[in-house]
Structure 1
Amino acid sequence: MCHWTPLEPGKPHYLMKSFKPPFGEGPVFISSTGALEILHVSDPELVKDIGHCTPSELGKPKYLKRSRKALFGRGLLTVNGDEWAYQRKLIAPEFFVDKIKGMIELVEDATAPLLESWESILDNVGGSRDIVVDDYLRKLSADVIARICFGRSFTRGEEIFCKLRQLQKAISQQDALVGLSAFWKHLPTSVNREIGKLEEEARLLILDVMKEHNNSTDNDLLRVIIDGAQGCHLQGRDAEDFIIGNCKGMYFAGHGTTEVTMIWCLMLLAAHPEWQEHARAEAAEVCQGGATLDVNALRQLRIITMVIQETLRLFPPASLMMREVLIDVKIGGLDVPHGTIIQVDRSMLHQDKDAWGPDACEFHPDRFANGVGVAAACRPAGMYMPFGHGPRTCIGQNLAMVELKVVLARLLSRFAFAPSPRYRHAPVFRLTIEPGFGMPLVVTKL
């Protein structure tokens, strides 16, 4: 049970010591679950101020660290303070643009089996059939991040990610049943037993790969993480938790969010054949003769980039940005005490008609056209944040954009997509926004 309180002028509240209009006229309100006070923010000026807060002022909520511990551990996605600063400094350089350039070939290698698989399927049925694309795209995305994270052991990495996918679904099922109830999560229910079993299996798989790396000279992301554990002088179980937490984080940040964006991209292109044709013509020109893609070729994929940006606007993979106030802070005209949870709903920002216009709920990639980029696509620019906001913006966004461009260019060069009569539009929250009943599409070989 929860209740909510809009912040209105003349209504006293401990968050309103410095309250002034217009901050209480709808886009800012408080809800309470009993244990938590949550400040919901969709006011542009307050959202902008939140982005200016330092990591010492806002961090990841403690209750999320507890409820998501099985999936994220103590990796970059959940830690705060000096621990967060150290891990980000360690891992972020692995996703700088210069490093991403060398990953394009890895994405190409991971995409090739999918192209061959679909061509083989279609050749056997006359060139066109219904295909549920979810699992194919999920495997492709897992393959990409496994190659980057685990190097030569990428097949073991795929096995780990498969286990983490099961864990993600189990935790989502638990959340759907009990919401924020911390007590329920400790009861010996069948779901909790399944979560514990999957967590231990994933842990053992990661430890096995880690031991292999200790005896190798592989220079991949796992090596950076292993060396990072030694660099902060962690020993025994603490070092293992550091490594396991960051490997799990790479799964969610580098795989889970990218594959759902691929799925929604194909759905939207199937539903808008005119944009699909524009994107295909561009892909055919850039990929002519099956030429190997490089960073210069990807820069020419302007229409495909617009399609990706619009997909991320309509279906941001992580729909909520949650922060806990670590020390008393002032945000806009509000004095916000430590311990308050701040929640920003990306979907509300991305479909705000005042920021995006009357067609805010519609698919119009040309709002990002003519090189205006996201900064000029809406007013104010801070209303677009698919990769996060402020100091904790996703470090893997460059890799995500490269992966999405390569995969879409290759798929559109070989196949056409149309809506399937079997598709039921029911997005659900499973830590990311996914199709509730899968994504069947009519795929036709060109």
Structure 2
Amino acid sequence: MALPLHLLTTISAFLLFFFFLLRCVNSFFWLPWKLQLHFQKQGISGPPQPFLFGNTGEIQKLSSKALVGSMPFVHEILHRASPFYDYWSKLYGKMFVYWFGSTPRLTIADLDLIKEVLLNKSGVIEKVAYDPITKQLFGDGMLSVHGEKWARHRKIGNTAFKMERVKEWVPAITESTRNMLDKWEREGGEKSEFEIEVYGDLLDFTADVISKTAFGSSFQEGKRIFKLQDEQAVLVSHAQKRVYIPGYRFVPTKENMRLWRLDKEIRQSLQKLIENYGEVGMIIDESLRLYPPAPSLLREVHKDIMLGKLHVPSGTQLYIPLIAVHHNAEIWGEDAEKFNPLRSRETARHLATFFPFGIGPRICLGQNLALVEAKIALAMILQRFTFAVSPTYVHAPTCVLTVQPGHGAHLIFQKI
């Protein structure tokens, strides 16, 4: 005897609901508990995993608290650039597990493990896939694709940004630098000493260089696009601290290489090195060590693997606190928070002690262009000006995808 239609509909709805309930229990209770126990057996602890959103709420609170106000002009900025890592590493050690929703994120600060992760070419360890909000900014390009498509894009990109090609762009970089310096002189007028907020101008300068060299255009022609990208970057930065739910813009919870202010110590060291050694690269390296463009790197394991002596289950995300490694006194010495360009000659580096552009197959494609651009700009600035920090400068490092000065970079220039 056939069952009535309404009864079949009721049973089907119940089974679907029961199946959905089992999936939720498995995803948000059973698997997280099982994984947490798995890591605890290997001696790795971390903050408890709250239901549904994981530790994202606490990450938001720590970030908001860290960015209130300014700080003394020192380079000890881990508590602002990566506040949750700074806080939890003091409680649980440098390797711990926290939760992004129901996904475990294992923090890795051991140099050998970082090297193993970033140099992996097997496809087992990949960049974490972007959520739809983040993908609006990065699109379907080099940063977001994987597998064969990424390899194809990367091969083309490597050819476009190889050093031989970058050297051909020196005249364009020089022109953009000269335009920026001419603008500063116009703003200074007849004064021999004047103040400029340089961070905004340096953003325009780097955008103009990439427009001319990579796209054959100019910053002014694409200014609206760059402005929209800056606005989108703020939204993406918020989104990356929240669990993405399809259909919602954000989960409703409570809420580069750039020029940083150069103090007297940095300025004196810079001038001395240029006069005595002519190695601007050492100054740039030390600046990148203290203020790397990105405070961290994120990877995901797609298959159960052994990472050193640690068994890491498939689906685990790996958080690499780049800025913590760069400021680690065990690696760089007791003066790790000091600006010391000579450090590069004194420190025998493990491959994973200094990696502002990453290492391995995913190393930043624009590294050559960025370094050449910085060297040319710095050399040309020093031909025209001496400079020092303005009393109006407020030291407030912040992170909106990249490490940035929160209130701009105000310098006092003096014409030579």
TM-score (norm. length: structure 1): 0.69
User: Deviations 1:103-125 (Å, cap 9, x if unpaired)?
Assistant: 1111101111111111222233x
The amino acid that maps onto 1:268 is L
The amino acid that maps onto 1:357 is G
Give the Å deviation of 1:280.
5.4
The amino acid that maps onto 1:32 is W
User: Deviations 1:232-288 (Å, cap 9, x if unpaired)?
Assistant: xxxxxxxxxxxxxxxxxxxxxxxxx34x2xx12xx2355523113225547xxxxxx
Paired residues of 2:207 and 2:219 also in contact (CA < 8 A): no
Give the Å deviation of 1:33.
3.2
Question: Structure 2 CA distance, aligned partners of 1:57 and 1:394?
Answer: 20
The aligned counterpart of 1:273 is 267
Say if 2:105 is the partner of 1:28.
no
Paired residues of 1:60 and 1:323 also in contact (CA < 8 A): yes
Task: Flag the 1:429–1:401 CA change in 2: closer, same or farther, 3 A.
Answer: same
The amino acid that maps onto 1:165 is D
Paired residues of 1:28 and 1:39 also in contact (CA < 8 A): yes
The aligned counterpart of 1:7 is none
Question: Structure 2 CA distance, aligned partners of 1:441 and 1:142?
Answer: 21
The secondary structure found in structure 2 opposite 1:382 is coil
Task: Flag the 1:187–1:26 CA change in 2: closer, same or farther, 3 A.
Answer: closer
Say if 2:244 is the partner of 1:182.
yes
Question: Structure 2 CA distance, aligned partners of 1:356 and 1:444?
Answer: 34
User: Deviations 1:330-357 (Å, cap 9, x if unpaired)?
Assistant: 1111111221110111111011111111
Paired residues of 2:188 and 2:195 also in contact (CA < 8 A): no
Q: Work out which of the residue numbers 59, 76, 79 in structure 1 matches 2:142.
A: 76
Task: Flag the 1:55–1:440 CA change in 2: closer, same or farther, 3 A.
Answer: farther
Task: Flag the 1:269–1:97 CA change in 2: closer, same or farther, 3 A.
Answer: farther
Question: Structure 2 CA distance, aligned partners of 1:132 and 1:388?
Answer: 29
The aligned counterpart of 2:304 is 328
Question: Structure 1 CA distance, aligned partners of 2:403 and 2:218?
Answer: 29
Q: How does 1:225-374 map to 2 (within 5 A)?
A: 257-258=256-257, 260=258, 263-264=259-260, 267-268=261-262, 271-279=265-273, 281=275, 301-302=278-279, 304-369=280-345
Q: Work out which of the residue numbers 381, 387, 400 in structure 2 matches 1:430.
A: 400
Q: Work out which of the residue numbers 379, 388, 392 in structure 2 matches 1:418.
A: 388
Question: Structure 2 CA distance, aligned partners of 1:53 and 1:16?
Answer: 25
Q: Work out which of the residue numbers 357, 367, 371 in structure 2 matches 1:397.
A: 367
User: Deviations 1:401-421 (Å, cap 9, x if unpaired)?
Assistant: 100000000011111111111
The aligned counterpart of 1:156 is 221
Question: Structure 2 CA distance, aligned partners of 1:382 and 1:152?
Answer: 37
Q: How does 1:53-92 map to 2 (within 5 A)?
A: 53-54=120-121, 56-62=123-129, 64-92=130-158
User: Deviations 1:381-437 (Å, cap 9, x if unpaired)?
Assistant: 421110112221112111111000000000111111111111111101100010111
Say if 2:118 is the partner of 1:51.
yes
The amino acid that maps onto 1:278 is K
Question: Structure 2 CA distance, aligned partners of 1:186 and 1:136?
Answer: 36
Question: Structure 1 CA distance, aligned partners of 2:204 and 2:378?
Answer: 15
Q: How does 1:132-147 map to 2 (within 5 A)?
A: 132-147=197-212
Paired residues of 1:353 and 1:360 also in contact (CA < 8 A): yes
Paired residues of 1:307 and 1:365 also in contact (CA < 8 A): yes
The secondary structure found in structure 1 opposite 2:202 is helix
Say if 2:208 is the partner of 1:116.
no
Say if 2:350 is the partner of 1:380.
yes
The aligned counterpart of 1:372 is none
Give the Å deviation of 1:379.
4.5
5+ residue gaps, structure 2, are: 1-34, 45-90
Question: Structure 2 CA distance, aligned partners of 1:55 and 1:269?
Answer: 45
Question: Structure 2 CA distance, aligned partners of 1:310 and 1:98?
Answer: 25
Task: Flag the 1:308–1:105 CA change in 2: closer, same or farther, 3 A.
Answer: same
The secondary structure found in structure 1 opposite 2:102 is coil
Give the Å deviation of 1:156.
2.5
Name which of structure 1's ranges 85-94 and 136-145 shifts more when overlaid on structure 2: 85-94
* Bigger Rg over Cα: 2
User: Deviations 1:76-123 (Å, cap 9, x if unpaired)?
Assistant: 112111221111112111111111110111110111111111122223
Question: Structure 1 CA distance, aligned partners of 2:249 and 2:223?
Answer: 31
Paired residues of 1:106 and 1:147 also in contact (CA < 8 A): yes
Paired residues of 1:146 and 1:158 also in contact (CA < 8 A): no
Question: Structure 2 CA distance, aligned partners of 1:336 and 1:103?
Answer: 44
Give the Å deviation of 1:184.
8.8
